[in-house]
Amino acid sequence: MEFSLIERIRQRTAQGREDVRVGIGDDAAVLSMPAGQEQIAAIDTMVEGVHFPVGTAPADIGWKALAVNLSDLAAMGASPAWALLALTMPQADADFVDGFAEGFAQLAQPYRLALIGGDTTRGALTISVAVHGFAPPGKALTRDAACVGDAVFVTGTLGDAAAGLHCLQQRLPESAHSSYLIERLNRPTPRIAAGIALRDAAHACIDVSDGLLADLGHICHASGVGAEIDAALLPQSSALLSLYDDATARDFALSGGDDYELCFTVPATRVAEVSADLARLGCGATRIGRIVAGEGVRVRGAQGQWLETLSSGWEHFSA
């Protein structure tokens, strides 16, 4: 049964690449490294009931399992190439595998990302995906190079995924707005093109997986700087603002996780250029603050006052 499930996944995720000499079907993959590129690798694990709600559609799980990893590559300015998949399920379920593989493939295909191997086993529903990508030597984006005076930007809109989870948990009435927010939770868009465009412009970059405050805080800690952001500038969707009051929407945008947008810093001299470049890509980018001397992240309210923030974001091992 295990091998039939693997074959179902292989058939639905097949992607031809000239740099994959041996893919699924052997003990390990054999890969050719492109000349003049550095390899960038990332891995994430998703557990049912922790990283996605019980009852999430298999296709949405497949999409998101890959998306959260591609978002890490985007934050590094990398082009995706290969993936490995470890799928743990309570029992052999061909229908689940078919749906999962379909969602995975829907996201993989536009990037020509090849699934090159992995494993299946029995246990609580858990998915681990490892991705590999490439960037020119010395061009990978990191968290540790933000400079005092940099502008702080984010792509897209913030708070949608956290609001989508709230809609599900509170069983809010179905509407166009709630459906949009839930879609943003289940099928985030990795900002691969934006990350690549930022290779030569951004000083530091991270994806917003644990919440803006937490993830911008990681940049500040790694770079030895502080950040000030203006709550009034936070980009928020019309769906979020239609369903929630301003304070709740602001809290989702500051501390909600799972948006998988990019937060990055650029020198003031590159602000107009970067804004125009990302606008052309369709995701857009909003300037929300600045890098300052000091440490940590402070949030300024509409009246100029410093806000007390209730949460700094998702923590994996919090009580």
Tally Cβ neighbours within 10 Å of residue 59: 20
Alpha-carbon distance 155 to 215, whole Å?
Answer: 14
The CATH class of the 2-135 domain is alpha beta
Element counts in the chain: helices (H) and strands (E): 10, 12
What was the pLDDT predicted at 306? 92
What was the pLDDT predicted at 118? 85
Q: Helices in the chain by DSSP H: which ranges?
A: 2-13, 58-75, 94-108, 160-169, 176-186, 192-197, 212-223, 238-243, 246-255, 271-281
What was the pLDDT predicted at 317? 40
Report the DSSP beta bridge partners of residue 300.
230, 306
What was the pLDDT predicted at 17? 80
Q: What architecture does CATH give domain 151-300?
A: Alpha-Beta Complex (3.90)
Tally Cβ neighbours within 10 Å of residue 281: 15
Residue with tokens 């440490």: 295
Backbone angles phi, psi at 221, to 5 degrees: -65, -45
So where are the chain's domains?
2-135, 151-300
Tokens (6 digits) for 128: 């681990």
Judge whether 213 and 312 are in contact, CB under 8 Å.
yes
Backbone angles phi, psi at 278, to 5 degrees: -75, -25
- Quick one: DSSP state of residue 218? H
Tokens (6 digits) for 59: 């296709």
Alpha-carbon distances, residue 164 vs 16, 32, 37, 196, 318 (angstroms)? 35, 41, 38, 28, 22
The model carries a pTM of 0.92
Alpha-carbon distance 31 to 22, whole Å?
Answer: 7
Residue with tokens 């922790």: 50
Amino acid at 151: A
Alpha-carbon distance 276 to 36, whole Å?
Answer: 29
Residue with tokens 């893919």: 23
Alpha-carbon distance 132 to 94, whole Å?
Answer: 27
CA nearest neighbour of 311 among 300, 294, 299, 295: 299
Tokens (6 digits) for 32: 């050719």
Secondary structure class of 237 (helix, strand, coil): coil
What was the pLDDT predicted at 5? 63
Q: How far is CA 186 from the centre of its chain?
A: 12
pLDDT string in tens for the chain (319-residue length): 555 666 777 666 667 788 888 888 888 989 998 899 999 999 999 999 888 999 999 999 999 999 999 999 999 999 999 999 999 999 988 899 999 999 999 999 999 999 998 888 899 999 999 999 999 999 999 999 999 999 999 999 999 999 999 999 999 999 999 999 999 999 999 999 999 999 999 999 999 999 999 999 999 999 999 999 999 999 999 999 999 999 999 999 999 989 999 999 999 999 999 999 999 999 999 999 999 999 999 999 988 899 987 555 545 444 3
Alpha-carbon distance 244 to 72, whole Å?
Answer: 29
